Structure 1
Amino acid sequence: MSESLLSRVGRLVSGTANSIVDAVESTAPDIIMKQAIRELDSAVEDVRAALGKTAVKKHVASQRLAETNKSHEELSEKIAIALRAGEKELARAAVARQMDLEAQIPVLEKTIADAGDEEQELNNSILALQGRKREMSDQLDTYIAQKNAATSQSTTTDGGADGKLNKTVDNANSAFDRAMKAATGVPGAPGSGSMADDAKLAKLDQMTRDHRVEERLAALEAELE
Structure 2
Amino acid sequence: MQARHYKTLQELWKKTTPNQQDVGHLLDLEFESRRAFIDSCSLKEEDRTEKVIEAYPCFREHKHVTGQAIALMKALPSMFPSPTAPPKKLGSASEALIHVLEPSEDPNTFLQKRPITSPVILVDSTNLLLAVGKISLMTLPKEMIHEAPLILMGCFYTFHLTYPKCVTTLLSVIQTEVLKDSIHERDLTHSYKKAIAEWGEFTKK
Bin for the TM-score computed over the shorter chain: under 0.3
Give the number of the structure whose residues are more often strand, by fraction.
2
Give the number of the structure whose alpha-carbon radius of gyration is greater: 1
Give the number of the structure whose residues are more often helix, by fraction.
1
Higher relative contact order (CA 8 A, sep 6+): 1
